[in-house]
Amino acid sequence: MLLLWSRCGKVVILNVLTHVSPQDGRGITIANEVYDAIKGTGLSDTLKVVGTDGTASMTGNKAGFIRCLEEKPGRPLQWVVCPFFCTAMSCL
C-alpha cells in the first residue's frame, strides 16, 4: 500500500494512493514497482521521506528498497524505519 502524506498546518492528512504487489521481495523489484506507481502522479518529483520496516530487503545500503528508490530520481530520501520491528525480532 502506498500512502501519501500532506501537511495542512499541524494536521497530517494520510491518503491511500494505490496498492502494489511486487513479484518478489527484492529491493530493486519493490523500488521499480513503487516508482512506476508514483511517477505519473508528480510525487516522484516531491517525495522526501520513505518509511518501512527494518528488514534488509527494505533498508540494505546497496540493494534495499529505499536505496534503490533513491536512485530513480537521483537524490537522497529521508529513511524512516519502524523501531518496533527490531524489538519484535529480538524477542524471537
- The cell for 64 is 534495499
**54-79 pLDDT tens trace:** 888 999 999 999 999 999 999 999 99
**13-51 pLDDT tens trace:** 556 677 788 889 899 999 999 898 888 787 788 888 888
Burial bucket for residue 41 (CB in 10 Å: 0-12, 13-18, 19+): middle
* Structural domain spans, the chain: 24-90
Element (H, E) at 57: helix 56-59
The whole-angstrom separation of Cα 81 and Cα 92 is 19
> For residue 4, which of 65, 46, 58, 66 has the smallest C-alpha distance?
46
**DSSP conformational letter for 24:** S
pTM over 0.85? The answer is no
